[in-house]
Structure 1
């Protein structure tokens, strides 16, 4: 099959989903109100609560939720064939991710921009809130620790990306000042920012930078991780308009230009998909496609981490409630487009089936490396881009998204510690600086404590990221569904995805539990068991809460009819 057809079907489906389904959900289900006074205006402080242009906010939200996961997940999942990955990405984006992300923004916006975790206590119950906060903390811990390790690995393997990656921070700082102080209009700033970023990408291969293999006994990988967390700690304390917003915005533009180049190259060269549509000859040890497909591809179909961003930083910057449709749902479409591009790159970016099979020789292979190499080949064949520049472009794309996710993730982890400080009356923990220190320390403890001197400990619990992340998405959908029931509105658009995720997550956890037991990995076995208990608990809480609310609504309706 030609990749052009796959591209047109995928992009066309997601575009129609945004035009029609998102409008239905926004107007008939969430009933977004343009006159509602958002928390960004009510609590405006110039630091976290900042009313923001919806295009700039879209850039922040999209790049914060994207990260490297919509590349890694699909690039691994194609081992079962490109058809299952394609269908889950497209239909997951339309009916799962868009509804989830826009709903999380709406729910938080209607509750003083509180996080989904904090909302759970009021909407569902205190028991669920405690459970939710633990799951959130685990997801953020995994995201921050693993993304730091992934970025460090890419910076070491592709030294040509170092200059554009760190140079983008300075570009963002300048853009932030220009936008906030309104020195230039947004269009002009966007053009100048993109030109500066791509100039750095072109210059990157000429100025490769590597760290010494060891400094005072610390490896280059560990050094990059320490540098990244030092940067992320500072970034998470700065007002959002200084770095977070402009960096995410310019990264969003960079991604769309990169996607246009990649999709344009597909149109020009018309590569064939060499990978099988359904892989009936998977390598030994590959788990069953169902349910593992639905937790291997999280970001790009639906991801609980999106709910943390939507209710943690995005809702605090929402200028108008109606912007939630564009920022949330269209942000999900943007991520789905990245996942679709990944599927094409890792299935049509190889010369032959044998070349593809040489990479996908066991489950877990592929990932960012397959995306970079496959995408670079398509760019070279389609638009004649130099391979070194093409690889630098795609590497920078992956690193910048992972970096923005890490920035936002650490800020969200700081919020969690501050919320815990408020819940348990620990006053010093409610302060930004101590909470940030706790967030960084916990990530470094995992990275170095579990992984040793090279700082790769975050990878130890990565196998559980997919299931824990989808469990978190289920929790977010539970909160949204409960709010809809209380408002006596149709709930099927969130209830059906919620039920699907709970079934697949519990199924996947059971399979993983057996696997960890068989190989004797008691650390992951214990964590898996805890997450499994949490998943069952959530299913029971969801059933009890929704049944109680529906009964209350019936009673009120009956009383009203009698009157």
Structure 2
């Protein structure tokens, strides 16, 4: 099959899903109401709660949930063949991720911007809420520690990405001042911001920054990780309009520019280039390398972001719901945010299956499970850009590496903000009030402890990463259970949530059990991961049972009033 045809089919599926299915969910299932007073207006504080233009909020939401995962997951999963990866990305985005992200945003908005962890106490029960927080804490810890390592590796392997990576922070700060303080129109600010960001990419390509082996008394890896955690801590404490929103918005726009370049390269290379790109990867790979796990269920947890991801629900309920100007904006922010992830995953699949000249080259890269990843995306995508639009290979690699770094960085700083919220929620459950700064210090200390647990190179951040896929998907199923309970309470059709809930829970639970056996294998035993996997499995099963009980009760209780205040409803339930 031609890469152009595959690209066209994928884009068409996403377009149809957004135009028709998201409209059905918004109007018939969630019944979004433009007159509903959102938490951003009701609880406005200018720090976490702030009404935001839907395009800016989409940029924050999309880039926060994107990170490196929609690149890493598909780039690894094509080892089983591009057909399974393509189907899971497209179908998963339309029917699973879109429902999950929009639903989590709606659920939190209807409950004063409360996080998924807080919602679990109300809709599933206090017995399961504590265990729910355990799953959330571990998942967020995996994200910030592992993404710090991913960014560090890219800054070292692609030094041309250093200047645009850190220069983007200055651009974002200026954009925030221009939009929120000077009240300049969004369009010209966006154009200037994106042009400046790409100018920094060109400058970075001409002036790569390579740190010496001994820099300020430490190696490059240690320095970059410390710098990233310091940045993340500061960013998570600043008001959202100062850095979080403008940074994520500009990154979201530049991602779409990057995707246009990537998709455009596939088209122009096919139409005008002498070296027409071909799909060299197998459609179904029947000769996978030794040690590759079975496609089912591992495909469905290897590709998380870009199909469905529990982390999205935490962002939707943790930050995005607190900034939603009108409830009807949730369709664009939530569902189209999921579509943006799908587009990035589709671009990744095209890059790693058509960005190599021969099958032999592809086989050399995919010689072992996990050997693909960001490197394969940068290499393959750079080759497509060079063939399609004549962009030099080094500059193409800088564009794609910067894209990956910026998304990983936005996910990391949002993850630190969310983990700070979790620490504060845990403190509340223990009758201890933990303010922002101490909570952030706890997050930094625990995150750095994990990241440096295997040496100053920081690779300890990847130690618990093998659990990310299963934990992330179990988290998605638990979020869908909250959405289902809410829909049942309101006497609306719960099937759009229940069907993906059952499928995702069964597949991710299956994967968690398989991983448990591999962690106990005497040849490669890892008892830390074994213990954590048991905790995650036990917590998820307990919460799932509580959710099933809550759904049964919701079906027999009186219907919930449409605009009933969440606190009043909670008091009534206690009585």
Q: Give TM-score, length-normalised by structure 1.
A: 0.96
Could you give the per-residue CA deviations for residues 193-233 of structure 1, whole angstroms, max 9, x where no partner exists? 01100100011122111222234663211110001000111
- 1:117-132 alignment runs, 5 A limit: 117-132=117-132
After TM superposition, give the deviation of residue 553 of structure 1 in Å.
Answer: 5.7
Which residue in 2 is equivalent to 1:245?
245
Aligned to 1:561: none
What pairs up with 1:31-50 in 2 under 5 angstroms? Answer: 31-50=31-50
Equivalent residue, structure 1, for 2:419: 413
CA distance in 1, matches of 2:40, 2:492: 26
Distance 2:63 2:442 in 1: 25
Q: Determine helix, strand or coil for the equivalent of 1:298.
A: coil
Task: Confirm whether residue 525 of structure 1 aligns to residue 530 of structure 2.
Answer: yes
Residue aligning to 1:169: 169
Q: CA deviation at 1:111?
A: 0.4
For residues 366 and 333 of structure 1, the distance between their equivalents in structure 2, rounded to whole angstroms, comes to 23
Partner of 2:542: 537
- The question of 1:281 aligning with 2:287 is answered yes
Is the 1:80–1:279 contact (alpha carbons within 8 Å) kept by the matching residues of 2? yes
Unaligned runs of 5+ in 1: 555-563
Alignment match, 2:493: 490
In 2: Cα distance, 1:110 partner to 1:98 partner: 18
Distance in 2 between the 1:553 and 1:420 partners?
Answer: 31
- In the alignment, the residues of structure 2 paired with residue 357 and residue 527 of structure 1 have an alpha-carbon distance, to the nearest angstrom, of 34
Offset at 1:391?
0.4
Secondary structure, counterpart of 1:107 in structure 2: helix
- Tell me, in whole angstroms, the C-alpha distance in 2 between the residues paired with 1:212 and 1:139: 34
Query: How far is 1:543 from its partner?
Result: 2.3
Does the Cα contact within 8 Å between 2:140 and 2:419 map onto a contact in 1? yes
Counterparts of 1:199-210 in structure 2, within 5 Å, are 199-210=199-210
User: How do residues 542-557 of structure 1 correspond to structure 2 at under 5 angstroms?
Assistant: 542-552=547-557
Give, in whole Å, the separation in 2 of the partners of 1:358 and 1:186: 46
Task: Tell me, yes or no, if the aligned pair for 1:502 and 1:535 is still in contact at 8 Å.
Answer: no
User: What is the match of residue 394 of structure 1?
Assistant: 400
SS for the counterpart of 1:322 is helix
How far the C-alpha of 1:131 sits from its partner, in A, is 1.2
Partner of 1:445: 449
Instruction: Report the secondary structure of 1:105's partner residue.
Output: helix
- Give the conservation status (yes or no) of the 8 Å contact 1:262–1:378: yes
Partner of 2:138: 138
Contact 2:132 2:540 in 1 (8 A): no
In structure 1, the residue matched to 2:564 is none
1:76 pairs with 2:76: yes
* Separation (CA, whole Å) in 1 of partners of 2:153 and 2:348: 20
Q: Which residue of 2 aligns with 1:558?
A: none
Q: 2:568 corresponds to which residue?
A: none
Q: CA deviation at 1:67?
A: 0.3
Across the aligned residues of Structure 1 and Structure 2, the Cα RMSD in angstroms comes to 1.1
Residues 222-246 of structure 1: CA deviation (Å, up to 9, x unaligned): 1100010001111111110000000
Decide which of 495, 505, 516 is 2:519's aligned counterpart: 516
SS of equivalent residue, structure 1 residue 214: coil
Secondary structure of the corresponding residue to residue 229 of structure 1: helix
Equivalent in the alignment of 2:503: 500
Contact 2:147 2:412 in 1 (8 A): yes
Equivalent position of 2:484 in the other structure: 481
- Three-state SS of the structure 1 residue aligned to 2:498 is helix
CA positional deviation for 1:182: 4.2
Alignment of 1:92-107 (within 5 A): 92-107=92-107
Deviation string, structure 1 residues 316-355 (Cα, Å, up to 9, x no partner): 0000000000000000001100000000000000001110
Matches within 5 A, 1:194-233: 194-215=194-215, 218-233=218-233
**Contact in 2 for aligned 1:505/1:535 (Cα 8 Å):** no
Q: Is the 8 A contact 1:218 1:454 kept in 2?
A: no
Matched residue, 1:354 = 360
* Distance in 2 (alpha carbons) for counterparts of 1:351 and 1:362: 19
Whole-Å Cα distance in 1 between the matches of residues 308 and 183 of structure 2?
Answer: 38
* 1:272 Cα deviation after fit: 1.2
Q: Contact 2:489–2:557 (CA<8 Å) still a contact in 1?
A: no
Q: Does 1:294 align with 2:297?
A: no
**In the TM superposition, what is the alpha-carbon distance from 1:546 to its structure 2 partner?**
1.5
Q: Which residue of 2 aligns with 1:557?
A: none
Question: What SS class does the counterpart of residue 287 from structure 2 fall into?
Answer: coil
CA contact (8 A) 2:63 2:407 kept: yes
CA drift of 1:413 comes to 0.7
Quick one: distance in 2 between partners of 1:383 and 1:189? 27
CA distance in 2, matches of 1:172, 1:549: 45
Structure 2 residue ranges without an equivalent (≥5): 271-276, 560-575
Contact persistence 2:48–2:240 (CA under 8 A): yes
Who is 2:459 aligned against?
Answer: 456
Question: What does the per-residue CA deviation read over 1:72-129, in whole Å, with 9 as the maximum and x for residues that have no partner?
Answer: 0000000000000000000000000011001111000000100010111011101221
Q: State the partner residue of 1:186.
A: 186
Number of residue equivalences: 551
Distance 1:39 1:549 in 2: 25
**Structure-2 separation of matches of 1:111 and 1:284:** 49
Structure 1 counterpart SS, 2:184: coil
Q: CA deviation at 1:539?
A: 2.9
* CA distance in structure 1 between the partners assigned to 2:192 and 2:456 by the alignment: 41
* 1:16 counterpart residue number: 16
SS at match of 1:280: coil
TM-score, length basis structure 2: 0.95
For 1:426 and 1:541, the matched residues in 2 are separated by 26
Helix, strand or coil: the match of 2:464?
A: helix
Once the two structures are superposed, residues 345-399 of structure 1 have per-residue CA deviations (whole angstroms, 9 ceiling, x without a partner) of 0000000111000010111111000000000000000000011110000000000
